[in-house]
Structure 1
Amino acid sequence: MLALKVTTVGASVGFILPKEATARLKVQKGDKVYLTEAPDGSYRLTAYNPDFERQLRLAEAIMRQDRDLLHTLAQ
């Protein structure tokens, strides 16, 4: 477990991710991270966008359903 200290960053508050955490999350300066709420009420810091994942799954479902139509349009 890593302990992060909340500090002032301009007019906001934030925390610094140690090198170990950035390596594990595979993020670097300028990347976005997402704080999501887990079903048990706890929070999770992740490098992927859950909304984008949901949109991608919907797009994949549409592509499977309309495969013939998309193939025709691609010609």
Structure 2
Amino acid sequence: MFETRIRKVGNSAVVTLSAEMLAALDAREGDTVYLVRGDDGSLKITPQNPELAEALAAAQIVMDENRDMLQALA
């Protein structure tokens, strides 16, 4: 487990990732990462994954096309 703090920078809140955290993610400065919310409310940081990005883009298209139906089901 890693520990870090949230701090204010301008009008944003940022989380600093140490070199050790970046190594564990196999990521480096400037890379894109995703925060994925778990069913328990937790957040998971995952490195950029082209397959995940493609799946999320496809899901967004489906949600946009079926917005009314999805709202009725919610």
What TM-score, normalized to structure 1?
0.60
What residue ranges of structure 2 are gaps of 5+ in the alignment? 57-74
Q: CA RMSD in A?
A: 2.6
Residue equivalent to 1:22:
22
SS at match of 2:20: helix
Within a 5 Å distance, the mapping from 1:36-55 to structure 2 comes to: 36-49=36-49, 51-54=52-55
Pick the structure with more strand per residue: 2
Distance 1:30 1:48 in 2: 11
Larger Rg: 1
* Post-superposition offset of 1:5: 0.5
Letter in 2 for 1:31: D
Q: Extract structure 1 runs of 4+ deviating beyond 4 A.
A: none
**Contact in 1 for aligned 2:31/2:48 (Cα 8 Å):** no
Letter in 1 for 2:2: L
What residue ranges of structure 1 are gaps of 5+ in the alignment? 56-75
Number of corresponding residues: 57
* Post-superposition offset of 1:34: 0.9
Distance 2:48 2:39 in 1: 17
What TM-score, normalized to structure 2?
0.61
